[in-house]
Structure 1
Amino acid sequence: MNPAVAHLIEAIPPSDAPRSHNWARVEGELGTILPSDYKQLVDLYGGGLFDDAIWVLEPDCPNRYHDLVTENRDRVEAQQGLWMGGEPKPAELDEAGSRTIAWAVTENGDCLYWLARTGQEPEQWTVLVKEGRGRDWEFHAQSCSEFLRSILLTGDTESEMFYDFPTEEPHEFRSSSRFL
């Protein structure tokens, strides 16, 4: 098991029983293999809300706003609209073959992406955070589970968008299924 996922499980136990996902189908729909730590995280937790702040997206989520595939379809169009409207596009996204893949959203409208680059394995993807109500992007050279662990639990990652983290214990995860 990925060490960051194991640390999250120890500190924030999943609220529901583990479930499996048809990753081959999901990856086919997205057109890419996904990072193994994300798949472990979602198989163990499902989609849901960490510490009332970060919603991890899940394939086949009954709530379309937290469905991995649906959210990514919507985000591509939304990003194009931002850039056509004059918002600066990060230079890293101008590289041939690079793309963003949303894996989480926040209660403030921020979106957490992977920066998927041509020639990089999914385990090497960078985490990007796009400010929901502004033009800022943050780049974090770490996996999604390491980002969650460091933002929620240790404070090892500095972020303007998550400036008030980590929060005091107890930490909490609530499954998306509990919000239906």
Structure 2
Amino acid sequence: MALSELLKIVTPPDKPKEVPAKPNWAAVEKKLGLQLPDDYKLFVAKFGSGLLGSFVRVYNPFSKDEYLALQKSVISVCEIYQMLSDTFPYEFYPETPGLLPWGNDDNGNSLFWLTRGARNKWPVVVCSGRDNRYQLFEMGMTAFLARTFTGEVKCKIWPKPFAVTSRRAKFEPY
């Protein structure tokens, strides 16, 4: 699993924030009407809420913060992007296949899964928050994060140079 790639470069907190002792993923998935990728669930369990590499936030369905909570973010982000839908080649959640947000970055860009095929094989799409640029990555969320932070994968929407040593091995819990 790709989470192991990420754990080689980023140390999770000893006690992740906003993660219940027994996360009720079934309730989260029922509310969304779809099952989420396993690497996402493992990431949330290991890291909780926080900022990865001083740049990326992964939404947490157990967060009380409306800007970090997965369900609230899915609704608000999809509403915003649906207004721009004629500039993207994909539909947005709840359409399937569609773009389902899982995080954002400090530059106002959004991170999505493209919900096509098996959930554990959903590719990542990064959409610019300032224009109609997007980039598709044929890999899961944690593989994408690990490989962008090591510089193996380049996201054209993110600042250059992105994969610098100062960003690695940092996770700041909220």
The question of a shared fold, defined as TM-score above 0.5 by the shorter chain, is answered with: yes
Indicate the TM-score class for this superposition, using the shorter chain for normalisation: 0.7 to 0.9
Residue number in structure 2 paired with 1:80: 82
1:121 aligns with 2:118: yes
1:131 aligns with 2:104: no
What SS does structure 2 have at the residue aligned with 1:149?
Answer: helix
CA contact (8 A) 2:56 2:104 kept: yes
Residues 44-100 of structure 1: CA deviation (Å, up to 9, x unaligned):
1012211111001101212110111100011221122123xxx5121x439x73111
Q: Which segments of 5 or more consecutive residues in structure 2 lack a partner in the other structure?
A: none
Separation of aligned partners in 2, 1:93 and 1:80: 8
Q: Which amino acid aligns with 2:76?
A: D
TM-score, structure 1 length as denominator?
0.85
Q: Which amino acid aligns with 1:100?
A: L
Question: Which of 145, 149, 153 is 1:148 aligned to?
Answer: 145
Residue number in structure 1 paired with 2:105: 106
Q: How far 1:21 moved relative to its partner?
A: 2.0
Residue number in structure 2 paired with 1:174: 172
CA contact (8 A) 1:58 1:66 kept: yes
What SS does structure 2 have at the residue aligned with 1:62?
Answer: coil
Distance 1:37 1:168, change over 3 A: same
TM-score, structure 2 length as denominator?
0.87
Once the two structures are overlaid, the 10-residue window that deviates more, 10-19 or 46-55, is 10-19
Alignment of 1:41-52 (within 5 A): 41-52=43-54
Separation of aligned partners in 2, 1:106 and 1:89: 19
Runs of 4+ in 1 over 3 A off after TM superposition: none
Q: Which segments of 5 or more consecutive residues in structure 1 lack a partner in the other structure?
A: none
Q: How far 1:143 moved relative to its partner?
A: 0.4
Aligned length: 166
Separation of aligned partners in 2, 1:36 and 1:8: 14
Normalized per residue, the structure richer in helix is 1
Residues 141-176 of structure 1: CA deviation (Å, up to 9, x unaligned):
0000000000112x1112112232212145310123
Residue number in structure 2 paired with 1:64: 66
Indicate the percent of aligned positions where both proteins have the same amino acid: 28
Question: Which of 5, 8, 20 is 2:6 aligned to?
Answer: 8
